[in-house]
Amino acid sequence: MSKRSDARLWIAQRATAALLALCVTVHLVTIVYAVRGGLSAAEILGRTRGNVGWLAFYTVFVLAVAVHAPIGLRPVVTEWLGWRGRSREWAALALGVALAWMGMRAVLVLYA
Amino acid sequence: MTALQVDVWRGAAEGRLQRYDVPRFPSQTVLDVVTHIQRKLDPTLAYRYACRVGMCGSCAMTVNGVPRWTCRTHVDRVAKNGVLQLRPLRNLPVIRDLVTDMRSFFDKWERAGGHFEGASTKADDFARVAPDSAARQAADAGIECIGCGVCYSACDVVSWNPDYLGPAALNRAWTLVNDPRDKAGVTRLRAIAGDAGCHACHTHMSCTERCPKHISPTASIAGLKRAVTRAALDGKL
């Protein structure tokens, strides 16, 4: 991987980290708020169904995770398992696609 | 006179700790202890030193698990219960006993573009660098490194990723990035970017914690990350 790509991935990871700091905070506050009177599927769906705001928020959240986590796992698998080279990059890409797919599926189900 | 129990690494990559009893003296340094062993108890012990006063950086060893200059480390400060354990610096191949092969350490300085590349000739006037300029201040903060290898030995990322350039080489590169006379520019940033360069640093700050010169290679590496980011965003990398 070129130095330019390395630098871009690092920037992407830092930028998504900043987004995630915000997203996780909003998410946790929402959880604490939502469970005050008990938690039910109907209550969650009542909040998210047809709500473009929550759709946008969790779309950003999921996509940030899908970018952030695979980039960060690359050095982890290199340092702990000695895994490097092209196969590592493909595995990271596959993880990113899987996270985005699973996450967006959940987001869309809660919206539609 | 009380005796100090000193366990010293003997061998190379494979070896064992050997126990020596060394008499205690006032203001005794760890280097004094090693020298006593080599001169009075066991002349086969291999170790390295030169200046004895914290200028050359050649006597660094692992003292009770911590990389230190042995010449500037008093026994009183580190000998818990009168016991010392001395090993060679971590993250470097051991030649024999307490002597490491530092070639990989210095090769990485070269790989990091750690040499000055000027463009002026002797016909040119002296470069004038304002002492209070931000670049000069940043270079000043890292310039006193004497290449002892303590930070390199303290760095966990080096042990996990042997290709990693390490704190000292990156700190050196940062001082040159901040030298307005130096013309390596983006070439050096390419050399220090990436998985084996500044982006591999986890900001554990072990290098900063252990540097005997109180330099912060962590801050230098953070500066390199910012410089690389700017170059990447400008499309220059």
Whether B199 contacts B180, CB under 8 Å: no
Q: pLDDT tens across B163-202, in order? A: 999 999 999 999 999 999 999 999 999 999 999 999 999 9
Q: What average pLDDT does the structure give for chain B?
A: 96
Q: pLDDT tens across B60-103, in order? A: 999 999 999 999 999 999 997 899 999 999 999 999 999 999 99
Q: Among partner residues B160, B200, B232, which is closest to A11 by beta-carbon distance?
A: B232
Check the CA dihedral A15-A21-A26-A28 and report its sign: positive
User: Residue range B202-222: average pLDDT?
Assistant: 98
A6–B233 CB contact, under 8 Å: no
Q: Which among B100, B129, B157 is the end of a domain?
A: B100
CATH number at residue B64: 3.10.20.30
Domain enclosing residue B197, as ranges: 103-233
Beta-strand relationship, B94-96 and B99-100? antiparallel
What is the complex's ipTM, to 2 decimals?
0.84
Report chain A residues whose CB lies below 8 A from the CB of B225.
Answer: 10
B161–A80 CB contact, under 8 Å: no
User: Same structural domain for residues B138 and B172?
Assistant: yes
Whether A59 contacts A23, CB under 8 Å: no
Q: Give the pTM.
A: 0.92
* Neighbour-count burial for A58-68, b at 16+ CB within 10 Å, e otherwise: bbbbbbbbbbb
pLDDT band at B1 (very low <50, low <70, confident <90, very high): low
Number of C-beta neighbours around residue B15 at 10 A: 15
Q: Whole-angstrom Cα distance, residue A99 to residue A112?
A: 20
Q: Among partner residues B157, B193, B233, which is closest to A6 by beta-carbon distance?
A: B193
pLDDT at A39: 85
User: Same structural domain for residues B130 and B182?
Assistant: yes
A4–B200 CB contact, under 8 Å: no
Q: List A residues 43-72 in contact with B (Cβ-Cβ < 8 A).
A: none
Q: List A residues 83-102 in contact with B (Cβ-Cβ < 8 A).
A: 84
The domain total for chain B is 2
Please identify every stretch of chain A with a pLDDT value under 50, giving residue numbers as ranges.
none
Fold adopted by A3-111: 3 helical TM bundles of succinate and fumarate reductases (1.20.1300)
Mutate one of B187, B188, B195 to test the A interface: name it (highest A CB count within 10 A).
B195
A18 touches chain B (CB under 8 A): no
Report chain A residues whose CB lies below 8 A from the CB of B200.
Answer: 75
B194–A3 CB contact, under 8 Å: yes
